[in-house]
Structure 1
Amino acid sequence: MPMNIVVLLISILLFFVLFFGIGFILNMILRMTWVMAVIYPIVAILIIDKVRFVEYFTNSKYAFKELGHRFTTLATADIIILLSGLAGAIASGITIKLLRKNGYQMF
C-alpha cells in the first residue's frame, strides 16, 4: 500500500525527534557521546526483521538470510524513515559534543 506524503513527513519527524531524544538522554546519563549512533543499527534491525532474536544464535544461517531478504524488500519510504532516525541519533551526539565543548556539564 503506498504511503501518503503527509504520513511520510510526520513519520520522518517522529523518528528524528524520538531517536534524538533517546540519544540525548543516553548521552547525558552514560556520558558516552556516540552511544545511540552505535546502538541504532541494532534497533533498526529489530524493527525490520521478523525473526526472534534467539534465532540469530541458534539458526544463524536462516536468520541472516531472512534479514537480508527483509532489507532488500524495504520500500523507499521505509528507508527514508529509518535514515531519519539515524540522523536523529547522530544529531544528538553532535549536540552533546557541542554542549560539552561550550562548558555545559550534564550530570
Structure 2
Amino acid sequence: MSIPQLIISIVLFLVLFFGIGFLLNMILRSTWIMAFIYPLVIIWIVNDARLVEYVTQPAVAFSSIGESVFSLQPVDLIILLSGFAGAIISGVVIKMLRVRGYQMF
C-alpha cells in the first residue's frame, strides 16, 4: 500500500467512525456506545468464524480471533486503530457538548 493510500484510509476511517459514533451517541443518548461496539464490529470483519460459531463452538471461535488479529499487516492495524480513535473522539465530543448545555435529541 502506498503512502497516499494509507493517509486517505486513515482519514476515511477516522471520519467515518466519528460520524457513525456521533450519530449513535446522539440518538441513543449514550456517550460511549460506539467505543464499545467498534471492537465487536472489527472482530466480526477480521475473524472468519460465523456468528453462530461463537455460541455453538466458543472455544474455537474465540481462539481464532487472536490468530486473525495477529495475522493482519501493520498497515491494516493502523487503519483500524484510526477508526477506533474516531469512535473515541465522537464520545469525547458528545460529552463536551452535553457539558456545555447542548441537548441532542
The answer to whether the superposition gives a TM-score over 0.5 is yes
Mapping 1:16-95, distance limit 5 Å: 16-95=14-93
- How much identity, in percent, do the aligned residues show? 60
Displacement after TM superposition at 1:23 (Å) = 0.5
Unaligned runs of 5+ in 1: none
User: Which position in structure 1 is the counterpart of 2:5?
Assistant: 7
- The ranges of structure 1 where at least 4 consecutive aligned residues each deviate by more than 2 angstroms after the TM superposition are none
RMSD (Å) for aligned C-alpha atoms: 0.9
Q: Distance in 1 between the 2:29 and 2:12 partners?
A: 25
Classify the secondary structure of the residue corresponding to 1:36. helix
Q: What one-letter code is carried by the residue in structure 1 that aligns with 2:48?
A: K
Displacement after TM superposition at 1:102 (Å) = 1.1
Q: Distance in 1 between the 2:25 and 2:62 partners?
A: 30
Q: Distance in 1 between the 2:46 and 2:5 partners?
A: 19
Displacement after TM superposition at 1:65 (Å) = 2.3
User: Which position in structure 1 is the counterpart of 2:102?
Assistant: 104
Displacement after TM superposition at 1:51 (Å) = 1.2
Classify the secondary structure of the residue corresponding to 1:92. helix
| Superposed CA offset, 1:40-63 (max 9, x none) | 110110121111111111122221
Displacement after TM superposition at 1:82 (Å) = 0.7
TM-score scaled to structure 2, two decimals?
A: 0.95
How many residue pairs align between the two structures?
105
Q: Distance in 2 between the 1:47 and 1:64 partners?
A: 14
| Superposed CA offset, 1:55-93 (max 9, x none) | 111122221222211111111001101100110000000
